[in-house]
């Protein structure tokens, strides 16, 4: 091997995706590369040149790209090891940005024909080019899991499909089977559950050893009775392609231990227990969720809130993905808050009044979007219908003292009081249905800075406890109101794009005085704000950022790959934030967690992905700018 090849191999082995390519494919690449020099200020490629003829890989130096039509004439930087312009090469078109040497630059160059041939040769290179951000994201996640390998034990991935988790055929019987016979079958098969099916093998119910104690032994039911009399009817089922974390969350929310797997025709395909999902890693999900439901006082909930943090740390060590992890955190936080609200309502006597049938506790912000992390304060409110013979003020007089106790108890459980006082104990946010509609209509009509700020928080509301139908009514009403007001959406878009992603002209990132950047404000919020506007414009009633992007994309003519790139960027920033909280929690267990990181402390791969994620944030803001002519 020549000395030149040895030097080049060393270079490519340090940069994605080349560091994961097969050796023979990497050698093929080296044989087809040429090396070019560009002086400072010289253009490497620009739209006027037409169809792109070369792929560039930066060996040394800095390249700046200026996107035509950018909302702020932003310049993005490309550094050593980065490959461009992949999108234009794949589409066989001209670039949309001007790429210029910001200093003396050396680039490896690959002809367009060789670029497409390498894609066919190397699956790794093809995956990188066609899924760019997602492929890098996967590589980063793999590195993180390797980093936590000593802390994590072997576990079935919670992102796996349920069909891949099933290990044994389900044990089933007819509804007229006697308990004696069913128990004999369960004993022989060494299983703790029996699925009751009809003649077409469709589930009718489920019988478990837990049912044996509570429904047979203690009541003294004869074991000669048919199993249909003591089974739990209408068991929860999921399709075989559903991810395992959906089954885990269903168990956590409802407090049961088994989920059935059924095909599109309703026919039973399998049964999963909590033990199947967590047999090798006892994360304690059911134990915590069960204890939350049975907590008898606030002190018990305070202790359990610490268990939620511990469980989250364990899941981080196992490499659970950001989307799943925030759903788990939000689900457990919901269970804690629901039980706390129930206890305080019982203690105050509110539970036994007719008013209880017309109240809904709302959560907003990250809680409303199911995007909570370990650093979550309170954003909540109350929605109620006014009973006949009462006024809204009379209802508030009864509700506000209870709401104050709930807010204070939540603070004890690790959810700090909102510094902006956006809480149910504030009379401004304890309102009747008509009052909420009036204030929302006023915000949409006026579009003042205060109204836009409130909209960015309150329009992410969802029901947590009480009468969910009230929140659904308000949500549907708001969707219709906002989608028909283009002026308000224009104002929201103009406000959203003021928060620029922190990409620098001289350095990779724009940092604050402490040489850090805020992952939440500068990284996540651009996606959150854009998704909210897209959902209001299209009438989408979902509140999570990811679902808003996916469900509104078609109506807004956003290509699927573009929406998925935004989602991957959002998830990567969220994962960096979670990892930051994980590391802070290990070092300072009693300290308040923040969202500030120093990019220079990231590894090269994560720093590169973060830079690309911020570029995606600029792209989603560009979409807003073009749609609303800003």
Mean pLDDT (whole number) for 18-23: 89
What pLDDT score does 311 carry? Answer: 80
What pLDDT score does 202 carry? 95
**Mind listing the pLDDT tens digit for each residue in 362-385?**
999 999 999 988 778 899 999 999
Per cent of the chain over pLDDT 90 is 54
pLDDT of 588 > 80? The answer is no
Output the pLDDT for position 136. 64
Query: According to the model, what pLDDT value does residue 280 have?
Result: 37
Q: 354 falls in which pLDDT band (50, 70, 90)?
A: confident
Query: Which pLDDT score is estimated for 146?
Result: 56
What are the phi and psi torsion angles at 28 (to 5°)? -60, -40
User: What is the rounded average pLDDT of the residues 431-446?
Assistant: 95
Q: What is the pLDDT of residues 541-574, one digit of tens each?
A: 999 999 999 999 999 999 988 999 899 999 999 9
Please name the residue that has the structure tokens 């080019």. 129
Of the pLDDT bands very low, low, confident and very high (cuts 50, 70, 90), residue 148 is low
Residue 71, pLDDT score: 45
- How is domain 162-278 classified at the architecture level of CATH? Roll (3.10)
Long-range contacts: 467-470, Cβ < 8 Å, 24+?
Answer: 467/357, 467/358, 467/359, 467/360, 468/360, 470/358, 470/359, 470/360, 470/383, 470/384, 470/385, 470/433
Q: What is the pLDDT of residue 586?
A: 57
> How confident is the model at residue 427, as a pLDDT?
97
Q: How confident is the model at residue 72 (pLDDT cuts 50, 70, 90)?
A: very low
CA 388 vs. chain centroid, Å, equals 42
Least confident of 132-141, 199-208, 230-239: 132-141
d(CA 235, CA 170) in angstroms, rounded, equals 14
Instruction: Give Dmax (Cα) for the chain.
Output: 92
Confidence grade of residue 223 (pLDDT, cut at 50, 70, 90):
very high
Where residue 69 falls among pLDDT bands split at 50, 70, 90? Answer: low
Are residues 483 and 538 in contact, defined by beta-carbon separation less than 8 angstroms?
A: yes
Q: Which of 91-105, 506-520, 558-572 has the lowest mean pLDDT?
A: 506-520
Closest-CA residue to 329 (of 341, 314, 339): 314
Superfamily of 285-475 according to CATH: Beta Polymerase, domain 2 (3.30.460.10)
**Predicted pLDDT of residue 455:** 93
pLDDT of residue 154: 38
Q: What is the pTM of this model?
A: 0.68
| pLDDT greater at residue 508 or residue 309 | 309
Which CATH superfamily does the domain covering 3-132 fall into? Jelly Rolls (2.60.120.10)
56-65, 134-143, 272-281: least confidently modelled range: 134-143
Q: What is the mean pLDDT of residues 476-495?
A: 92
> pLDDT by residue (tens digit) across 225-253?
999 999 999 898 999 999 888 888 888 88
Q: Is the pLDDT of residue 115 over 70?
A: yes
Residue with tokens 């704000």: 529
Most confident of 143-157, 307-321, 454-468: 454-468
Architecture of the structural domain at 494-627: Up-down Bundle (1.20)
- Asked if residue 488 has pLDDT above 90, the reply is yes
Range scoring the smallest mean pLDDT among 1-15, 346-360, 397-411, 444-458: 1-15
Average pLDDT, the chain: 86
In whole angstroms, give the CA distance from residue 375 to residue 414. 9
The reported pLDDT for the residue numbered 76 is: 73
From 284-288, 429-433, 564-568, the region with the lowest mean pLDDT:
284-288
**Separation between Cα atoms, residue 501 and residue 613, nearest integer Å:** 9
What is the pLDDT, as a whole number, of residue 225? 94
Reported confidence tier of residue 10, pLDDT bands at 50, 70, 90: confident
Q: Residues 123-147: what's their mean pLDDT?
A: 69
Beta strands 172-173 and 83-84 are unpaired
Distances (CA, A) of 530 to 41, 452, 493, 520, 626: 35, 13, 7, 14, 13
Angle at 160 between CA 158 and CA 165, to 5 degrees: 95
pLDDT in tens, 597-627: 988 888 878 888 898 899 899 999 999 999 9
Q: What does the domain layout of the chain look like in residue ranges?
A: 3-132, 162-278, 285-475, 494-627
Q: How confident is the model at residue 149 (pLDDT cuts 50, 70, 90)?
A: very low
Q: Is the pLDDT of residue 1 over 50?
A: no
What is the reported pLDDT for 374? Answer: 76
pLDDT value for 585: 65
């Amino acid at each position: 091997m020549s000395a030149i090849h040895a030097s080049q191999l060393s270079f490519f082995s340090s940069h994605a995706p080349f560091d994961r390519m097969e050796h023979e494919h990497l050698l093929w690449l080296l044989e087809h590369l040429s090396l070019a020099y560009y002086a400072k200020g010289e253009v490497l490629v620009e739209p006027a040149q037409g169809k792109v003829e070369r792929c560039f890989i930066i060996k040394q130096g800095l390249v700046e790209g200026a996107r035509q039509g950018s909302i702020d004439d932003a310049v993005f930087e490309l550094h050593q090891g980065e490959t461009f312009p992949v999108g234009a090469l794949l589409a066989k078109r001209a670039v949309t940005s001007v790429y210029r040497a910001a200093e003396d630059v050396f680039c490896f160059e690959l002809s367009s024909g060789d670029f497409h041939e390498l894609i066919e040769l190397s699956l790794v290179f093809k995956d990188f080019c066609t899924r760019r951000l997602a492929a890098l994201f996967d590589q980063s996640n793999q590195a993180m899991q390797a980093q936590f390998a000593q802390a994590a034990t072997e576990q079935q991935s919670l992102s796996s499909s349920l069909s891949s988790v099933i290990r044994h055929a389900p044990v089933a019987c007819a509804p007229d089977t006697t308990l004696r016979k069913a128990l004999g079958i369960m004993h022989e098969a060494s299983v703790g559950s029996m699925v009751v099916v009809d003649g077409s093998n469709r589930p009718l119910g489920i019988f478990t050893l837990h049912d044996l104690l509570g429904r047979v032994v203690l009541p003294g039911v004869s074991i000669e009775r048919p199993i249909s009399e003591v089974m739990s009817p209408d068991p929860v089922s999921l399709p075989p392609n559903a991810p395992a974390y959906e089954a885990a969350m269903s168990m956590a929310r409802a407090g049961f231990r088994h989920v059935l797997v059924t095909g599109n025709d309703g026919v039973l395909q399998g049964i999963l227990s909590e033990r199947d999902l967590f047999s090798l890693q006892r994360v304690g999900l059911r134990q915590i969720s069960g204890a939350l439901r049975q907590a008898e006082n606030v002190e018990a909930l305070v202790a359990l809130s610490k268990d939620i943090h511990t469980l989250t740390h364990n899941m981080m060590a196992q490499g659970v993905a950001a989307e799943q992890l925030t759903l788990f955190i939000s689900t457990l936080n919901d269970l804690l808050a629901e039980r706390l609200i129930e206890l305080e309502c019982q203690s105050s006597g509110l539970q036994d009044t007719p008013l209880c049938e017309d109240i809904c506790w709302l959560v907003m912000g990250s809680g409303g979007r199911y995007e909570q992390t370990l650093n979550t304060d309170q954003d909540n409110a109350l929605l109620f219908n006014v009973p006949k013979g009462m006024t809204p003020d009379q209802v508030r007089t009864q509700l506000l003292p209870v709401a104050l106790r709930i807010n204070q108890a939540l603070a004890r459980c690790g959810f700090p009081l909102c510094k902006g006082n956006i809480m149910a104990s504030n009379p401004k946010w304890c309102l009747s249905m008509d009052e909420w509609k009036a204030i929302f209509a006023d915000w949409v009509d006026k579009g003042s800075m205060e109204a836009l700020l409130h909209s960015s928080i309150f329009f992410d509301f969802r029901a947590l406890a009480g009468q969910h139908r009230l929140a659904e009514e308000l949500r549907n009403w708001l969707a219709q109101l906002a989608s028909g007001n283009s002026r308000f959406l224009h104002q929201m878009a103009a406000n959203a794009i003021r928060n620029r992603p922190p990409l620098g002209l001289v350095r990779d990132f724009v940092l604050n005085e402490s040489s850090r950047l805020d992952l939440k404000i500068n990284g996540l919020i651009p996606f959150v704000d854009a998704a909210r506007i897209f959902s209001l414009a299209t009438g989408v009633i979902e509140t999570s950022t990811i679902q808003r992007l996916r469900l509104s994309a078609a109506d807004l003519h956003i290509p699927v790959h573009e929406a998925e790139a935004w989602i991957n960027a959002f998830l990567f920033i969220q994962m960096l934030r979670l990892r930051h909280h994980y590391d802070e929690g290990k070092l300072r267990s009693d300290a308040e967690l923040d969202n500030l990181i120093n990019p220079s402390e990231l590894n090269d791969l994560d720093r590169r992905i973060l830079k690309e994620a911020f570029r995606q944030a600029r792209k989603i803001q560009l979409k807003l700018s073009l749609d609303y002519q800003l």
